[in-house]
Amino acid sequence: MLRNKESYPIDFTGYTDFEISVLEETRKIPYGKTKTYSDIAKAIGKPKAARAVGNALGKNRTPILIPCHRVIKSDGSLGGFSMGLEWKKKLLKLEGIR
């Protein structure tokens, strides 16, 4: 039986408040959906911080629980991924996104 993903505690020690807000917002992206770096920036009240969102996601230590592969650029391109773009492509394909 699957449990709600928000029920799993994550240790945010070492992250800034900004990074935590980015990671928490990214954690809400449902399976099979994407959001842009700009979407995340707007959702956390920092609409001009899309690049900083990308930097924060690059520090994600728990990509299985916080699906940063679901965050893409506004133009539809992939952006970056700490585990490499090939993994990001595979994960998105697995979810039926690309």
Q: What percent of the chain has pLDDT over 70?
A: 93
Q: Annotate 21-53 with DSSP letters as a single string.
A: HHHHHHHTPPTT--EEHHHHHHHTT-TT-HHHH
pTM: 0.90
pLDDT tens track for 20-67: 999 999 999 999 999 999 999 999 999 999 999 999 999 999 998 999
Residue pair 53/40 in contact by the 8 Å Cβ criterion: yes
CATH code for the domain defined by 16-94:
1.10.10.10
* HSE toward the beta carbon, residue 31, CA cutoff 13 A: 7
User: Taking the domains of the chain in order of start, what are their residue ranges?
Assistant: 16-94
Q: Which residues are catalytic?
A: 68
Confidence band of 5 (pLDDT split at 50, 70, 90): low
